[in-house]
Structure 1
């Protein structure tokens, strides 16, 4: 294997690892901050307020991911882009829910499914940064 091929493979491996790290950080933020929010009695009922519940969860996921990205040395622009990815899926989903096209419970599932390719798209947009793991 040539030096260039080895270097390219290493960069894509770092990129893939960083994607996994981002997903773990997203879920860690969601779980840990979700527990904290519930413990202090600030939880939002998904059944009564699905929009608010989703937005709170997106903020929890964003906080976990932002903390990890800043720890890894990412600049603010990509950090905020990745946080925005947590909120973008509901732009079309909330109106569909209000119109009765998509159920309340489906919004959460569909938004989570949309996040993964959107995260990948944001990372590919700045692939050099993510292949270097931000540092």
Structure 2
């Protein structure tokens, strides 16, 4: 057992942290790679003119990258889909603020990105045995 493993629970916090970092890297890789391909194909949306579409497409791109990595690593569909939902969930309370003119498209993007990380952690803590257990997925 490593020093990052708690004997009483069998949880490996180093493993948990590694999963979190890997998912963030995969999320950003999906976002940048797919955005580049979409831009080359003329499928880009502006945060100033089409903020909802821009955010939803970006969340989809992040989800694709993260889901691909999670499935490669052997994560189950439940955890994978919940983590993908974490890419979309932060925008839910922000879109009405956008529609009321209380926040602009860039504000939605910034606030949703900031909120995304704790939402991802919440999903991971919800499935703590899967992400920090001593067993493989």
1:128: Cα distance to partner?
Answer: 1.0
Task: Kindly provide the CA deviation profile for residues 12-66 of structure 1, in whole angstroms up to 9, marking residues without a partner as x.
Answer: 0110111011111100000001101111111122221010000000000000000
In 1, Cα distance between equivalents of 2:46 and 2:2: 53
The residue that corresponds to 2:13 in the other structure is 12
The answer as to whether partners of 2:4 and 2:14 remain within 8 angstroms in 1 is no
1:7: Cα distance to partner?
Answer: 3.4
More RCO (CA 8 Å, sep 6+): 1
State the Cα RMSD in Å.
Answer: 1.9
Superposed structure 1 runs of 4+ greater than 6 Å apart: none
Does residue 64 of the first structure (1) align with residue 57 of the second (2)? no
* Structure 1 length-normalised TM: 0.91
Q: How many residue pairs are counted as aligned between the two chains?
A: 133
The residue that corresponds to 2:100 in the other structure is 99
Does residue 80 of the first structure (1) align with residue 81 of the second (2)? yes
Could you tell me which runs of 5 or more consecutive residues in structure 1 were left unpaired when the two chains were aligned.
none
Q: Decide which structure has greater helix share.
A: 1
SS at match of 2:12: helix
The residue that corresponds to 1:126 in the other structure is 127
The residue that corresponds to 1:40 in the other structure is 41
In 1, Cα distance between equivalents of 2:4 and 2:86: 32
* Structure 2 length-normalised TM: 0.90
1:134: Cα distance to partner?
Answer: 4.9
Residues 46, 5 of structure 1: alpha-carbon distance in 2 compared, 3 angstrom cutoff: closer
The residue that corresponds to 1:113 in the other structure is 114
Could you tell me which runs of 5 or more consecutive residues in structure 2 were left unpaired when the two chains were aligned.
none
